[in-house]
Amino acid sequence: MTLGDDFRIAVDKYLRAFLCKGVPSTFVSLKFLYNDPQKRSIIQDLAESYLASLKSDRTFPPPLETTSQQPNGTSDTAEPPTTFLWTLYFLALHYAHPVSARDVTKSLALIEEAIAHTPTLVELHLTKARLLKYQGDLSAAVDAIMVARDLDMQDRFVNTKVGKYLLRCNRNDEALQILKEFTRPDSPGGPLADLTDMQCMWFAIEDGESYMRQKKYGLALKRFHTIWKVQSPIRGINCSILKNGKKINTISIPTPFVKDQ
């Protein structure tokens, strides 16, 4: 048995188990293997075989290795509909990966099929938005991610993503209205001042770059100056740590700061 055969059997068991359980991070847990073309090809072949079998008779294909204790998903019984859904999701992410030649068109077709299957899953709409962003269609990406927000309006991660996509479409006021839901309503300077007080630097950066694209250089300068004001004390503290660290020969902690400078 070759090393490739051992890997195929191991990843076959892994994928069946995790796709049956509906683990959203299945692809993320395997993508470090994609630097090896042989392993990437094996994963793709297995996932495609699962999809074809699940689509035809709702079961996995026969396992590569039969043991007394079968891993999840290797019985002859029909799989739940969620297994087909997560297989579509896995393959959509697979084909969107840069090492997989990033076939965004194929990824979008898979994610659209998954959305038609289960339109209430937030992860599908987030992935669709990201794929549309890869295609350069930011307006459609915003529409897709707004659907994800409508499904879970209290999720901070989703709202942050919505704000970032809106800013990249130069829809600054709308982005601020979305993010103000997570700021203090009694803030004297409004949501923008509260975001600055919380040192929400990603917003200042994206907002400033958006105004740069719109050639509103005055507003862009204000956002970038905000970043400088926040970072200036931090740089001062790091310099003090570095100065004191040299005295006691412990400079390992501020080393990344020195590299950044």
pLDDT digits (tens, 9 = 90+) for 68-77: 344 444 456 7
* Mean pLDDT on 224-236: 82
Percent of the chain clearing pLDDT 70 (strictly above): 84
Under the banding of pLDDT at 50, 70 and 90, the label for residue 221 is very high
* Mean pLDDT on 207-225: 95
The DSSP letter of residue 70 is: P
Residue 229 inside a domain? The answer is no
Q: The domain that contains 156 carries what CATH number?
A: 1.25.40.1040
Token pair in block for residue 172: 């600054």
Token pair in block for residue 253: 């902690």
Whether residue 104 contacts residue 134, with contact meaning beta carbons closer than 8 Å, is answered with yes
Residue 246 inside a domain? The answer is no
* Mean pLDDT on 49-58: 94
Residue 218 inside a domain? The answer is no
Residue 210 inside a domain? The answer is no
Range of the domain at 80: 3-190
pLDDT digits (tens, 9 = 90+) for 64-103: 765 534 444 445 678 999 999 999 999 999 999 998 778 9
Number of domains in the chain: 1
Residue 231 inside a domain? The answer is no
Residue 152 inside a domain? The answer is yes
Residue 222 inside a domain? The answer is no
The predicted pLDDT at position 74 comes to: 47
Closest CA to 179 of 138, 169, 208, 165: 165
Residue 204 inside a domain? The answer is no
